[in-house]
Amino acid sequence: MYTMKITSVECYLGKFITIKINTDEGISGFGEAGLAYGNCFKSAFGQCQDFSKLIIGMDPFNTEKIWEHLHRDTFWGMGGGIVLSSAMAAIDTACWDIKGKALKLPVYKLLGGKTNTKLRTYASQLQFGWRKRIEEHDSMQLLYEPKEYYDVVKDAVSDGYDAVKIDPVFAPTEPKPLAEVFTTQGNQVRGIYREQDLKRSVERIAAARDAAGDDVDIIVEIHSLLDANTASTLGAALKPYRVLYYEEPTMPCNPSLFLDIKHRSGLPLATGERISTRLNFRSFFEQRSIDVAQPDLCNTGGITETKKISDMAQVYDIGVQIHVCGGPIATAAALQVEAVIPNFVIHEEHNANLLSSYKRAGKYFYEPKNGFYEVPELPGIGQEMSDEYLETAQKVIIK
């Protein structure tokens, strides 16, 4: 019986955490661990190396076997958290990339074929600006004044988007350097929502709605910066501005809190980027405390696991919007799954994708046209890391 074998794995640490799995057939596949932002990227890089040692000699076509091997035979794989599942995701995605290349088919055809021919897309994280600001400075800059939120929505709409996402809480009431906001977390609000904080958050979304008009959807993102009480207060105050859904209103460690926020705010809720594997989505689905699941394909276990999470969500009539906040591999892999699933809601186009470092990192550069993505038709996931990225990133080879 013919089998392909994994001969080595190249692990790369740069702006993104990526791997390249090589085989005895000369076919290679790319995957990504989605923890390059925040404070876990070096741990995910190390975990990719540890798990890569366990798949040498295995057949990359056996994605279920490899996934179960990493899940069950590594002690911490069972409930070990998002660092472990991000490494599993990188390996799984690279194996699917290899399968598609070997069969000369895009991955979506191996997952069941297209349900969605074009993927509606939203402009994400507008509190950091959009095209005019980001491409001018090649950096993200935190916005404070409601007028800035008005202008940035106009900027995204001029690109053809009919949906945007904004975090009205991330920027503190008083301007601070972006690095300080990230490191001190001084923008977090817990307990009683002070009137001036609530007022400013609402003013930002009100300005966005004014700019958007009636035909553009607004997703409100909170990044888990609020507790359940403040999230409920803000959500109720935002209800008149027709929020499409309310994302990560609080941390996802207690699913029952989402049910409380949902009832008190009257808004549809979403979460998922900090949740690992279908096992930890289960309570949210059974309680139906969320309306949109947001698994991060590069964190929660890869293409194999994200497809299973999406199928589970469909049983409870819950939509899926894959969380995309990574590199070119993350975007390409998400598009392959989103093309297939019937409960697809919308694709996330992060404004970090407008930075030159993102544009140069992939062999190909994809972006939406008039607010819609076309799914790449190349074999595999349709993306590889560029030679420039591979030459400049830190590299460890596992054989």
Tens-digit pLDDT profile for residues 245-292? 999 999 999 999 999 999 999 999 999 999 999 999 999 999 999 999
Cross-strand partners of 189: 226
User: Any idea of the CA torsion for 247, 17, 100, 292, to the nearest 10 degrees?
Assistant: -10
Q: What pLDDT sits at residue 79? A: 86
pLDDT band, very low/low/confident/very high, at 370 (cuts 50, 70, 90): very high
State in Å, rounded, how far the first CA of the chain is from the last one.
24
pLDDT band, very low/low/confident/very high, at 38 (cuts 50, 70, 90): confident
Mean pLDDT over 7-20 rounds to 97
The CA-CA-CA angle for residues 23, 28, 32, to 5°, reads 120
Sign of the dihedral through C-alpha 239, 243, 245, 248: negative
pLDDT at 187 over 70: no
pLDDT at 190 over 90: no
Q: What pLDDT sits at residue 185? A: 55
Helix (H, G, I), strand (E, B) or coil at 52: helix
Per-residue pLDDT tens for 112-123?
Answer: 999 999 999 999
**Pairwise CA distance, residues 13 & 59, whole Å:** 25
- CA–CA distance from 17 to each of 50, 270, 329, 389 (Å)? 14, 26, 10, 11
Per-residue pLDDT tens for 213-250?
Answer: 999 999 999 999 999 999 999 999 999 999 999 999 99
pLDDT band, very low/low/confident/very high, at 184 (cuts 50, 70, 90): low
Q: Considering the chain, what is the average pLDDT of its residues?
A: 95
Helix (H, G, I), strand (E, B) or coil at 380: strand
Per-residue pLDDT tens for 315-352?
Answer: 999 999 999 999 999 999 999 999 999 999 999 999 99
Longest Cα separation, the chain = 69
**Pairwise CA distance, residues 383 & 30, whole Å:** 8
**Pairing status of strand 28-33 against strand 119-124:** unpaired
